Amino acid sequence: MCLTEECKKSFMEMKWNKVHRYIVFKIDESSKLLTVDKVGGPAEGYDDLTAALPHDDCRYALFDFDFLTVDNCRKSKIFFIAWAPSGSRIRAKMLYATSKDGLRRALDGIHYEVQATDPTEMGFDVIKDRVK
């Protein structure tokens, strides 16, 4: 699997410039290229990300989570979400599972990983609990 320049650029814009709240990536099965499927602006939230994920196909997503620490300091952590719903094709699940580690290595600066097969496994409470 190859990462397109658009993927790298979008990630850097999220990481350093806070241009995107989330990025959804899709693997083009014919060319084996990882492309940007959707991006969410800085005003969008976690509900917008979950709505952007298809119910019957796999995706990777990055979410920039802003929060306050117990010391009242603003922090930001980037979550990597491997979305493989139970209704997706077996071939797609295998392709996404085998490509995940390569993508994680290529995108330096991801703090947490969440693997989900249904929305309850990646609920906002799961994200909040990970940063505690």
Structure tokens at 105: 């290595």
| pTM of the predicted model as reported, rounded to 2 decimal places | 0.94
What's the rounded mean pLDDT across residues 52-69?
96
Under CATH, what is the fold of the domain 2-130? Severin (3.40.20)
> Going by DSSP bridges, is the β-strand pair 59-68/22-28 parallel, antiparallel, or unpaired?
antiparallel
Single-letter amino acid, residue 102: G
Using one digit for the tens of pLDDT, what is the confidence trace for 8-38? Answer: 999 999 999 999 999 999 999 888 899 999 9
Write out pLDDT tens, residues 105-116: 999 999 999 999
